[in-house]
Amino acid sequence: MGRRRRAGTSASDKLRRFFASAPNPEDRFRALVESAPDAMVVLDPDGLVLVVNAQAEKLFGFARAELIGQAVEILVPERFRARHSGHRGHYFGDPRARPMGAGLELFARKRDGTEFAAEISLSPIATPAGTLVTAAIRDVSERKRNLDEQNRRMQEANRLKSEFLANMSHELRTPLNAVIGFAKLLYAGKAGPLTETQTEYLGDILNSSQHLLELINDILDLAKVESGRHELHVEEVAPTRIATEIKDILRGLAADKQLELRVEVSPDLATVRVDQKMLKQILYNYLSNAIKFTEEGGRVAMRIVPEGDQHFRIDVEDTGIGIRAVDIERLFVEFQQLDSSAAKRYPGTGLGLALTKRVVEAQGGSVSVRSTIGLGSTFSAILPRVVRTGEEGDASDVHGSGGTR
Amino acid sequence: MTSALILIVDDNATNLKLARVVLAGAGFEVRTANDAEEALHVLEVCRPRVVLTDIQLPGIDGLEFTRRLKGDPARSGLVVIALTAYAMVGDEERARAAGCDAYLTKPIDPDGLVRTVESFTSSPAPLKR
């Protein structure tokens, strides 16, 4: 402790020696600003420029004399100026070190009127006469260009992958057509009478090809949603009707396992505006999944209820095997069935939940799951009551638009 | 009742054979072609009630082939059924827009194929205008 104190004192002595030659505090302050690696601008509470450094002159193309005493808005693109002064007043009301316009894309303006993407850090300096603010400005246009380019390439790669999957699915269905078709002909006795064993083996071929076909269809669906080729067909839909339809399709499957299957739709949800096919797919995937992972004699219940004024909620609850907490985040990822022994007991493509998530998100919703090992799971989806299609969407990032996202 | 004549167009030999076996097995008379060009030659010498065509064909594709058949006044009343493994959104709409009377996806269900073809052949052929 004592040693550190001595060291501190000596550092402070040294600093005093270094600056002893500087004639006054103002020059010392200027020297400090001048030495900063970034472009620096120091403002008074009225937004007038008091000090700039050489880096700022270089970055903005203004001579020092042209900036000193000017309102800082001279460095802000015209369209943002009015709002900028408002934000400035706000900052002086609660001055603390922070990046400017968190979450927003900021732009600064050079002397010749050109703009660049900027990253700006603000910090207050308390002086006996009041608070000043220093702004450190960095040109991030190149970094931003690189990021945009990287982003564009990733999107393109993703699109190509989806297109490849879609084409692949098509290529796979072509030979499967003959496999399934001829097997069905044989199975139906169209090529002559069969022994019991031949019928059994043909049944195995048909079951396996049917599974293969489902896999291919799921991949195709996933690729469609991913490549954005799955356009939304938003229309007025009665959830009760869809829920009943899906329940009817799956009733046999539930009866085979002596499961109690219950479906409840809140009377407050007469109609919603969603993509009907997608809603069916969500209900079907959740419900068939719950039936698959629930042991004989268990219960599966689906509830569709309002969630606030703008949304509705789908809950599918089962008394199935449950999911370990660590596995929950892997659930909605493609091709991940949680453990291979379960995969053997419960055949499936491993795509159903990933697909459900995509389909829910494509409509502006979200998915979640709660589960207790051995007791069961509840899979949920929250969807807007009125799904907006892409064209109605609105995403504008502007300098100084105010809010923090 | 004489059995209706069906022309099947598919570039995949095995799938062509499957459709032929299924429809011949159901009592239809069947002609086949491997692509649209060959089909057009077949159509010069015989008049099928139904053309069952794959959409993805080399050269003239199934949609263009359908448009040509449907645009030919001498062939009014000819039924075109599209058969495709390509089940993307909008494909059926495109097939219908090209003039297809029905749209089936592969893998085909043999009974379903027979029922669809029968639905177009069980009634007498419309009179040529």
- Contact present, A277 and A239 (Cβ < 8 Å): no
Give the tens place of pLDDT for each residue, A241-279.
Answer: 999 988 988 888 888 889 999 999 999 999 999 988 889
User: Which residues in chain A are contacts of B87 at CB distance < 8 A?
Assistant: 173, 217, 220
Residue A20 above 80 pLDDT? no
Using CA of residue A250, residue A252, residue A257, residue A263, what is the dihedral sign? positive
Residue B127 above 50 pLDDT? no
Would residue B65 count as lying in a domain? yes
Mean pLDDT of the region A147-167: 83
Tokens representing A231 are 């356009």
Q: Name beta bridge partners: A368.
A: A380
Mean pLDDT of the region A128-132: 84
Would residue B22 count as lying in a domain? yes
Least confident of A39-53, A178-192, A199-213: A199-213
Least confident of A123-137, A216-230, B43-57: A216-230
B88 to A166: CB separation less than 8 angstroms, yes or no: yes
> Strands, E, within A196-284: which ranges?
234-237, 260-265, 272-275
Q: Name beta bridge partners: B50.
A: B6, B79
A190 to B87: CB separation less than 8 angstroms, yes or no: no
- Position B69, amino acid: L
Distance CA A399, CA A101 (A): 8
Assign B110 a pLDDT band (cuts: 50, 70, 90).
very high
Of A264, A293, A295, which is closest to residue A371 (Cα–Cα)?
Answer: A293
Of B104, B117, B129, which is closest to residue B48 (Cα–Cα)?
Answer: B117
Confirm or reject contact between A313 and chain B (CB < 8 A).
Answer: no
Q: Which pLDDT value is given to residue A230?
A: 60
Mean pLDDT of the region A171-187: 91
The percentage of chain A sitting over the pLDDT mark of 90, rounded to a whole number, equals 37
* Domain A16-139, CATH among 3.30.450.20, 3.40.50.150, 2.40.110.10, 3.30.70.20: 3.30.450.20
Range of the domain at B101: 5-120
Collapse the DSSP code of B9 into the 3-class scheme (helix H, G, I; strand E, B; otherwise coil) and give the result.
strand
User: Which residues in chain A are contacts of B14 at CB distance < 8 A?
Assistant: 175, 178
Tokens representing A140 are 């991030």
A173 to B107: CB separation less than 8 angstroms, yes or no: yes
* Domain A231-389, CATH among 3.40.1350.10, 3.40.640.10, 3.40.47.10, 3.30.565.10: 3.30.565.10
Q: Which pLDDT value is given to residue A6?
A: 55
Tokens representing A131 are 């608070």
Tokens representing B107 are 């893998």
Residue B36 above 90 pLDDT? yes
Q: Name beta bridge partners: A58.
A: none
A/B interface, count of CB pairs below 8 Å: 60
User: Which residues in chain B are contacts of A184 at CB distance < 8 A?
Assistant: 109-110
Would residue B48 count as lying in a domain? yes
- Terminus-to-terminus CA distance in chain A, angstroms? 45
Would residue B71 count as lying in a domain? yes
B110 to A174: CB separation less than 8 angstroms, yes or no: no
Tokens representing A273 are 């505006």
Closest Cβ–Cβ partner in B88, B109, B111 for A224: B88
Distance CA B102, CA B120 (A): 10
Would residue B127 count as lying in a domain? no
> Strands, E, within A162-310: which ranges?
234-237, 260-265, 272-275, 299-307
Confirm or reject contact between B3 and chain A (CB < 8 A).
Answer: no
Confirm or reject contact between A180 and chain B (CB < 8 A).
Answer: yes
Q: Name beta bridge partners: A139.
A: A118
Distance from CA of B89 to the nearest CA of A (A): 6
Give the tens place of pLDDT for each residue, A196-214.
Answer: 999 999 988 988 888 788 7
Mean pLDDT of the region B2-29: 92
Of A225, A199, A175, which is closest to residue A361 (Cα–Cα)?
Answer: A225
**What is the ipTM score, two decimals?**
0.77
User: Which residues in chain B are contacts of A180 at CB distance < 8 A?
Assistant: 107
Assign A400 a pLDDT band (cuts: 50, 70, 90).
very low
Max avg pLDDT among A151-155, A168-172, A184-188: A184-188
Distance from CA of A174 to the nearest CA of B (A): 6
Mean pLDDT of the region B100-113: 91
Confirm or reject contact between A208 and chain B (CB < 8 A).
Answer: no
A178 to B108: CB separation less than 8 angstroms, yes or no: no
Helices (H), A71-140: 78-93
Q: Testing the interface with B: which of A162, A169, A177 to mutate, by most B Cβ within 10 A?
A: A177
Least confident of A82-91, B41-50, B96-105: A82-91
Q: Which pLDDT value is given to residue B126?
A: 52
Using CA of residue A353, residue A380, residue A226, residue B12, what is the dihedral sign? positive
Domain ranges of chain A: 16-139, 158-229, 231-389
| Burial call A377-398: b when 16+ CB within 10 Å, e when fewer | bbbbbbbbbebeeeeeeeeeee
More confident residue, B7 or B91: B7
Q: Which pLDDT value is given to residue B128?
A: 42
Distance CA A372, CA A218 (A): 28
Distance CA A403, CA A29 (A): 33
Residue A200 sits at φ, ψ, to 5 deg, of -60, -45
Position of tokens 């019928």? Answer: A199
CB atoms within 10 A of CB A192: 6
Give the tens place of pLDDT for each residue, A320-356.
Answer: 888 887 777 777 776 555 554 444 445 555 677 888 8
Helix axes B110-121, B13-25, angle to 10 degrees: 60
Q: Which pLDDT value is given to residue A338?
A: 52
B110 to A179: CB separation less than 8 angstroms, yes or no: no
Of A367, A369, A386, A359, which is closest to residue A281 (Cα–Cα)?
Answer: A359
Residue A70 sits at φ, ψ, to 5 deg, of -85, 155
Distance CA B79, CA A22 (A): 98
Distance CA A404, CA A279 (A): 33
Between positions 93 and 132 of A, the ones with CB within 8 A of B are none
Per the structure, how many domains does chain B have?
1
Confirm or reject contact between B34 and chain A (CB < 8 A).
Answer: no
Instruction: Give 3-state DSSP helix, strand, coil % of chain A, rounded to 5.
Output: 50, 20, 30
Mean pLDDT across chain A = 83
Collapse the DSSP code of A370 into the 3-class scheme (helix H, G, I; strand E, B; otherwise coil) and give the result.
strand
Distance CA A123, CA A125 (A): 7
Q: Which pLDDT value is given to residue A86?
A: 81
Distance CA A268, CA A162 (A): 39
Residue A362 above 50 pLDDT? yes
Give the tens place of pLDDT for each residue, B53-72.
Answer: 999 899 999 999 999 999 99
- Contact present, A356 and A286 (Cβ < 8 Å): yes
Q: Name beta bridge partners: A371.
A: A377
Would residue B129 count as lying in a domain? no
Confirm or reject contact between B108 and chain A (CB < 8 A).
Answer: yes
Helix axes A141-187, B13-25, angle to 10 degrees: 40
Q: Testing the interface with A: which of B8, B12, B14 to mutate, by most A Cβ within 10 A?
A: B14
